Amino acid sequence: MKININGMCEIKNKGIKVDYNVLEVLFKTIGETTVPIQDGYIEVYSGGVTVHKNGESKHVIRSTISYYSKKHQLHNLNGPAVLKYYENFFLQEERYYINSILTRTNGPAIIEYYPNGKKKYERWFVDNKLHRENGPAEISYDKTGKEIMRAYAINNIIISEEDFLNR
């Protein structure tokens, strides 16, 4: 099964695409909520699908994709652990987690977008704390993409730009 971001599921061996609701009805009709796949299984429930493979899982709730570790923690070393999409399929939000801890050292851990695709804000977190050593820990933008606000934080403590530059 291939899970697409547009709210559709493609069952590869059947070559068909179905909406989650249709997939849920289909599985309930045949009396199953899980379907075995190579090295795992697919679990279907109200409003979502979870693909379990090789001990890890990828969870999709309509327009949200979440990645989980083998310990069922939000986790993705190769990109965002949570991706949310607007109904127009534009990206709404990215969140970076390692073992369910909001953290990212090479960029913002939370990025939110307007429905037009422009960034709304960026927030840097390390170990669940608003934190950035080399610039503002939060940047907000208007709907045109123009920067409108900066906030500086070290270890979850908001400080002035002057204090940040003189530390």
Sorted by sequence, the CB contacts under 8 Å of residue 81 that are 6+ apart come out as: 66, 67, 68, 74, 75, 95, 96, 97, 98
Contact 117, 135 (CB under 8 A): no
Residues in the chain: 167
Q: Is 165 left (phi over 0), alpha (psi -120 to 50) or beta?
A: alpha
Per-residue model confidence (pLDDT) at position 146: 97
Contact 104, 111 (CB under 8 A): no
Could you tell me the residue ranges of all domains in the chain? 1-62, 78-167
pLDDT digits over 51-79, tens only? 666 677 766 555 667 777 878 888 888 88
Per-residue model confidence (pLDDT) at position 101: 97
Contact 99, 69 (CB under 8 A): yes
Q: Could you tell me the pTM of the whole model? A: 0.69
User: Which range is least confidently modeled, 8-12, 101-105, 126-130?
Assistant: 8-12
